[in-house]
Amino acid sequence: MAESTKTATLNIDGSTYELPVFSPTAGPDVIDIRKLYAQAGVFTYDPGFTSTASCDSTITYIDGDKGELLHRGYPIDQLASQSHYLEVCYLLLYGELPSAAKLEDFETRITRHTMVHEQMHYFFRGFRRDAHPMATLVGVVGAMSAFYHDSTDVSDDWQREVAAIRLIAKLPTIAAMAYKYSIGQPFVYPRNDLDYASNFLNMCFSVPAEEYHVNPILSRAMDRIFILHADHEQNASTSTVRLASSSGANPFACIAAGIACLWGPAHGGANQACLEMLREIGTVDRIPEYIARAKDKNDPFRLMGFGHRVYKNTDPRATVLKESADEVLELLGVEDNPLLQVAKELEQVALNDPYFIEKKLFPNVDFYSGIILEAMGFPTSMFTPIFALSRTVGWISQWKEMIADPQNKIGRPRQLYLGETARNYVDIEKR
């Protein structure tokens, strides 16, 4: 915990309270209100947590004004261009870039945990074929606590480490199985001779009937998408994982809770919602109609893939993804993809519209990731599962940090109660 260097003074009804202020290594100071209720008998009020720090952390830093994203201090654009996903996983989990020997050991441990318990194949059979892959993912990941009992005790260091490795290793296998199940194709086993991204593409797109060769440009783009979605400070799904974990729940149940939260269209579900929106717009000449709807206070419609709670200039991940989108679409010879034309025109119109400039709304990570995944052949229903498998390392890293924090206690917010005060029961005859 940082040292308090100054205090904030709060005056309520003639009483004065001194609250410690902590200064971070980067970002805004925080006012420590942990003793406020005991001292002043008041709560703070912050629905949506727009001004609330829920924890201290050393994993990821975001500067919303500068459009900066650091993982353990390393800028996301450097990691996306010079690193690869499993090395970023190591960095997020252990805090430092690995030596060659440590990286090889880590990658070997992940590779050797990519298969799932064979009995889980039967677990899938209980789902309808048309189940959304996110529904399957939530169910199967939660069920991992029924298959891997030897890594559910969060008080045991070794079990926590094994659960972390198992989750990072098996999420791609489970996500690929959810996809194969939804299209009626047989499950494809992971292969130890393929890198993480190539393995995922092979499990999704290969079939027993013929050889499948992973295109290195596509696996590089896949790996980059994994990196860009790996962690993002205390976003809604990470906060869900932290809150679930604060009760001591096992890691598989907590990650399943994070997956459930990520599914929402305001969060990780935005990549699917964005592609569906582009498809609904259909042609460039219909963009003004949708821009008008996004600005209409009486219309709940929002431009999916635009805006962010923290970034108020650019989402640095979208900048990197935009480059990848051009590479992948050129490789696939679909640079004139009508969806991409609508996306590029929509981006230009929105970025020059006074409403979006004033509200600081611009393309976020979900805007371009959907276009790349669509071009790679994934159905929109697989976009959020891919986000979930990428973010698993972030959830796990934040979970490990929280469990190890001596201040860790069960999260239990209070409320501003506006309901009825105490009143007596009325018999039905008298109502």
Strand duo 68-71 + 74-75: pairing: antiparallel
Nearest to 114 by CA among 180, 197, 13, 44: 197
Residue of 303, 318, 321, 396 interacting with ligand SDX (CB under 6 A): 303
Cβ closest to ligand SDX, residue 224 vs residue 232: 232
> Least distance in Å: CB of 332 to ligand SDX?
25
Run of H or E including 8: strand 4-12
Tell me which residues in 192-251 interact with ligand SDX (CB under 6 A): 232, 235
Give the rounded distance of the alpha carbon of 119 from its chain centre: 28
Instruction: Work out whether 80 is an interface residue with ligand SDX (CB under 6 A).
Output: no
**Which residues lie closer than 8 Å to 263 by C-beta, 6 or more apart?**
134, 138, 269, 384
Please give the size of the binding site for ligand SDX, defined by CB under 6 A: 20
Cβ closest to ligand SDX, residue 291 vs residue 328: 291
> Least distance in Å: CB of 74 to ligand SDX?
17
> Least distance in Å: CB of 314 to ligand SDX?
12
Cβ closest to ligand SDX, residue 202 vs residue 240: 240
Instruction: Name the active-site residue from 13, 366, 405, 427.
Output: 366
> Least distance in Å: CB of 218 to ligand SDX?
23
157 has catalytic annotation: no
Dist CA 400 CA 210 (whole Å): 42
The sign of the CA dihedral 368, 374, 377, 379 is positive
Cβ closest to ligand SDX, residue 199 vs residue 237: 237
Q: Tell me which residue has its CB nearest to ligand SDX.
A: 307
Asked whether the beta carbons of 293 and 301 are under 8 A apart, the reply is yes
> Least distance in Å: CB of 339 to ligand SDX?
16
**Which residues lie closer than 8 Å to 367 by C-beta, 6 or more apart?**
274, 305, 306, 318, 321, 343, 347
Residue of 266, 292, 357, 404 interacting with ligand SDX (CB under 6 A): 266
Strand partners, 8: 19
Among the listed ranges 183-191, 204-212, 213-221, 262-270, the one in contact with ligand SDX (CB under 6 A) is: 262-270
CA contacts within 13 A on the Cβ side of 53: 16
Lookup: tokens for 264: 């929402």
Cβ closest to ligand SDX, residue 116 vs residue 260: 260
Nearest to 167 by CA among 189, 145, 185: 145
Nearest to 176 by CA among 261, 116, 125: 116
Instruction: Name the active-site residue from 308, 315, 326, 353.
Output: 308
DSSP single-letter state for residue 235: -
Place of tokens 């650019």: 314
> Least distance in Å: CB of 334 to ligand SDX?
23
Cβ closest to ligand SDX, residue 180 vs residue 308: 308
Beta-sheet strands, E only, within 151-216: none
366 has catalytic annotation: yes
Cβ closest to ligand SDX, residue 270 vs residue 342: 270
> Least distance in Å: CB of 41 to ligand SDX?
30
Tell me which residues in 273-302 interact with ligand SDX (CB under 6 A): 294, 302
Dist CA 68 CA 46 (whole Å): 25
Strand partners, 16: 11
Asked whether the beta carbons of 242 and 55 are under 8 A apart, the reply is yes
Tell me which residues in 347-366 interact with ligand SDX (CB under 6 A): 359, 361, 364-366
Dist CA 409 CA 36 (whole Å): 17
Residue of 307, 316, 370, 385 interacting with ligand SDX (CB under 6 A): 307
Residue of 304, 321, 375, 376 interacting with ligand SDX (CB under 6 A): 304
Give catalytic residue positions: 308, 366
| Residues forming the site for ligand SDX (CB under 6 A) | 232, 235, 266-268, 270, 294, 302-309, 359, 361, 364-366
